A and B are shown apart, each in its own frame.
Chain A
Amino acid sequence: DGGITQSPKYLFRKEGQNVTLSCEQNLNHDAMYWYRQDPGQGLRLIYYSQIVNDFQKGDIAEGYSVSREKKESFPLTVTSAQKNPTAFYLCASRSQGAGQETQYFGPGTRLLVL
């Protein structure tokens, strides 16, 4: 089945530790996005990538890093510089064509700090 997968579903981070969240899609989409969702807030854009080997900072990129070495994969690293990482992280990819576009979301990763 085509879709977006994220792993793990839950992730625990210790103080000072870097952790990496996986995002894979087999939809053949060029554009991919990482969002963070906090309770009572909308989705906020962390990083996005329009094409392989290219990515741009979103609105809240500090303390995060990404790579886009393959079209299918867009992993997000939460570094120790991110002081408040507890949130629900959503990866998405964008399809476009014939006057339609949409973002498809993965199931999300919930990150908790120990």
Chain B
Amino acid sequence: GQNIDQPTEMTATEGAIVQINCTYQTSGFNGLFWYQQHAGEAPTFLSYNVLDGLEEKGRFSSFLSRSKGYSYLLLKELQMKDSASYLCAVSFTTSGTYKYIFGTGTRLKVLA
């Protein structure tokens, strides 16, 4: 079956670096997404990894290892506004259809 795991909650200090891990088990893997979701709002797209390695976008980076079923999101120079839930999601193809499975999200608290 399809499965995604990520930690429920993390806490970090403003200006620090935090790494949010995600492990997954899926067949028909296409790619892995990270989304940011503030309380009461819709998820917003952060990154998409198809190939192994690190993708960097400003303060955010995302890493993927397909052989290990593992990804992480790295947030540098943390700001208070980074306090949010971070969702890991996998795109996979089954019976010719694109579908997605989402983790439960990691709630990040950034402390002053």
Contacts and interface: CB of A to CB of B under 8 A. Distances in A.
Given A42-B103, A94-B98, A101 B31 contact: yes
A42 B42 contact: no
B46 to A, nearest CB: 10
Contacts of B40: 88, 110
Contact of A45 (B42, B87, B100, B104): B100
Interface residues of A, number: 28
A104 B31 contact: no
5 contacts: A40-B104, A88-B40, A94-B98, A102-B48, A107-B42
Interface in A77-108: 88, 90, 94, 96, 99-108
Interface of A: 31, 33, 35, 40-45, 48, 50, 56, 58, 88, 90, 94, 96, 99-108, 110
A40 B9 CA distance: 11
Interface of B: 4, 8, 30-31, 33, 40-45, 48, 50, 87, 89, 91, 97-105
Nearest to A99: B50
Given A42-B4, A90-B42, A90-B43, A103 B104 contact: no
A11 B18 CA distance: 37
Contacts of A107: 41-42
Contacts of A90: 42-43
Contacts of B41: 107-108
A45 B99 contact: yes
Contacts of B4: 42
